[in-house]
Amino acid sequence: MDTHLFHLLRQQVHKDHALQARLFELTDPKDFLAAVQALAEESGYTLEKADLFEATLAGRRAWHNRNR
């Protein structure tokens, strides 16, 4: 998994409040993954679905554990 790529994409999303809102509205995990994969492709990167799924799970774990 290319953690540098995920860092770059995360920075891109954090800078764009409209993009954050669009991603936040996606309640279906498949739609969310597809949107992030499309964002990566638009930025000239290729993301493997398995890597994206793992990164999403890691993000969820971090979110749930943030105040523990």
* pLDDT band for position 56 (cuts 50, 70, 90): confident
The whole-number average pLDDT for the span 19-30 is: 92
Check residue 16 and give its pLDDT: 93
Residue 1: pLDDT band by 50, 70, 90 thresholds? low
> Mean pLDDT across the stretch 2-29?
88
Query: What long-range pairs does 43-51 form, CB within 8 A, spacing at least 24?
Result: 43/8, 43/9, 43/12, 45/5, 45/8, 45/9, 47/5, 48/1, 51/1, 51/2
